Amino acid sequence: MENTSIDKASPADVEAVARVATEYFQSWFAGDGERMRACLHPALAKRTPERLGAKSLTLHEDPAEQLVTDTASGEGTGFDPSQEVIVLDVFRDIATVMVRSAPFVEYLHLARFDYDWLIVNALYVWLVEA
């Protein structure tokens, strides 16, 4: 099956989605909770398997306000603030982005609300010990 929806997306939408994903990570690296809040839908679902490869179905979950608090506490300031942002798909008012950084690989789902793109779902794995 050919991936054509990103080809049909406006360059401005692709750029806006990439900008939000970049800002999400850069705000975490900078320890700026308010910048982080501006990237997130209030009902954000951010999850990672509690133990990769385990039989347990337990997920570690961070709601939006917890992520803002953790960011403001400086949780991410000790990491290299570089990341690779790959916009995988944009279709109308939804998008999927993969971000690779020193501590994570993360898949983000964004949705457009009025003129703003916000992260509504995030699934990630740690690549390093936090």
Range(s) of the domain holding residue 83: 5-126
Give the pLDDT confidence of 52-96 residue by residue, as tens digits.
777 888 899 999 999 999 999 999 999 999 999 999 999 999 999
Please return the burial class of 73, using the count of CB atoms within 10 Å of its CB with bins 0-12, 13-18 and 19+: exposed
CA 24, 28, 31: angle at the middle one, nearest 5?
135
CATH of the domain at 58: 3.10.450.50
* Block residue for tokens 């690989």: 105
Residue 23 zone, left/alpha/beta (φ > 0; ψ -120 to 50; rest): alpha
Q: Output the average pLDDT for the chain.
A: 92
Give the pLDDT confidence of 11-24 residue by residue, as tens digits.
999 999 999 999 99
pTM: 0.91
Question: Which amino acid is it at 16?
Answer: A
